Amino acid sequence: MIELRDVARIYNQGQPNEVAAVRGVSLKLPAGRACVIKGPSGSGKTTLLMLIACMARPTSGRVLLDGEVVSALPEHFMARERRHTFGFIFQRFNLIRGLSVMENIMLPAYPDGMPFGTLRNRARELLQRLQLTHRAQAPVEELSGGEAQRVAIARALINDPPWIIADEPTANLDSQLVLRLLEELAALKADGKSLIITSHDPRVFEADLVDMVVEMEDGRVVSVSER
C-alpha cells in the first residue's frame, strides 16, 4: 500500500514563479487495485505521480510504501525504489532516441548489472507479449504511436515491479488503440500488479478494471470514490 500524508510539492519555492503543484494531499492507495487520478490539466496529477513513484521529493509531508517512509531515503535508495518497485509509463513515452526497441526496454535494468543473456531473454518475452518481436531492432523514432506506447509498457515491466504507473496513457491514441491498451492494463492487473493511472479520458476512468477514482483540482484531492 502507498500512503501519502499531507504531501505538498512546490516548484521554484521562494521565487516569483513559484507554483504549488500539489498541496496537502493525504491519500491511501491499496495494492492490487487499479486506481485512476483524474482532474483538469495543470491540477497536479503528473506531479503527484512523481511523488508516489519516488521521482521527486515532497516539499513537505511524507510518502510511505508498505508502512515505510520512502520520501526521505537517500538518493541511491530512491533510485532503487524507482527501479524495482515502480514501472512508469510517461505521458510522452520518453523513449530514448537512437536506441533500438530492445535497448530501450532493457534500459531500467542496466544499473543492476545482471548477465546479458538473462536480460535479453526477459526483454524478448516482453516483446512477444506485447507483439513487438518483429520491431525488436528498429530504432524507436520509427515507431508508430501505439507501438511506442507498447515499448513504454514493456520498459516499465522489465524489472517486474509490483506497481505500474501510467500518466495519461490514452492521450495520443485513437479509440481502437485505447481498447487495446485497456486490455493490456487489465492483463497486468490480472497478473497481480497494482495500477495507478492518471487520465481525464472517460473511457479510462469508466472502464471495468478501475477500482478507485481520485479527483484532483488545483493541487488538492477533491474526491475519492471507490467501486
Partner 1 sequence: MSGWKQWLARQRYLLDFTVAAMWRRRWRNLLLLLVYALVVFLLASVLFYGSALRRDAAAVLSEAPEVTVQRIVLGRHALSPPDWPDRLRGIRGTRQVQGRLWGYYYDRANGANYTIMVPSHFSPEHSLKPGEAIVGAAVKRLRDERGLGWLHLLSPADNRLLRLKIVRTLPAESELVSADLILVSEKDFRRFFHLKPEDGFTDITLRVRNRNEIDTVAAKISTLLPQARVITRRDILRTYENLFSWREGVVLAMLAAALAAFAIFAFDKASGLSAEERREIGVLKALGWDTRDVMAMKLWEGMLVSLLAFLFGVVAAWLHIYMFDAGVLVPVLKGWSVLYPQVALTPHVDALQLAALAFMTIVPFTAATLVPVWKAAITDPDVVMR
Partner 2 sequence: MMQRSRLFQRRSTPVLLMLGAGMALLLAEIACSGLCFADRLHARQRTAQLVAQLGLSDIALFTEARYTRHPSQADLFTPFQDAPGSLEHFPSGSLLTPPPHIVPTTGRARQSPPSPSSNQPDNRE
Ligand X SMILES: Nc1ncnc2c1ncn2[C@@H]1O[C@H](COP(=O)(O)OP(=O)(O)OP(=O)(O)O)[C@@H](O)[C@H]1O
Contact positions vs ligand X (CB under 6 A)? 11-12, 19, 21, 39, 41-47, 168
* Only segment of 46-54, 128-136, 187-195, 201-209 that touches partner 1 (CB under 8 A): 46-54
116 lies in the binding site for partner 2 (CB under 8 A):
yes
Q: Do 91 and 172 form a contact (C-beta atoms < 8 A)?
A: no
Single out the residue of 59, 66, 76 nearest to residue 111, CA to CA.
76
Could you say which of 137, 202, 208, 227 contacts partner 2 (CB under 8 A)?
Answer: 137
DSSP-derived letter for residue 55 is S
Site for partner 1 in 130-159 (CB under 8 A): 155, 159
Binding mask of the shown chain, residues 39 to 68, with x at each position contacting Mg ion by CB under 5 A = -------x----------------------
Question: What is the rounded distance in angstroms from the CA atom of residue 216 to the CA atom of residue 219?
Answer: 6
149 lies in the binding site for Mg ion (CB under 5 A):
no
DSSP-derived letter for residue 59 is S
Question: What is the rounded distance in angstroms from the CA atom of residue 61 to the CA atom of residue 125?
Answer: 40
> Measured between alpha carbons, how far apart are the two ends of the chain, in Å?
18
Q: Do 153 and 127 form a contact (C-beta atoms < 8 A)?
A: no
47 lies in the binding site for partner 1 (CB under 8 A):
yes
122 lies in the binding site for partner 2 (CB under 8 A):
no
- For Mg ion, the binding residues (CB under 5 A) are 46
- For partner 2, the binding residues (CB under 8 A) are 103, 116, 134-138
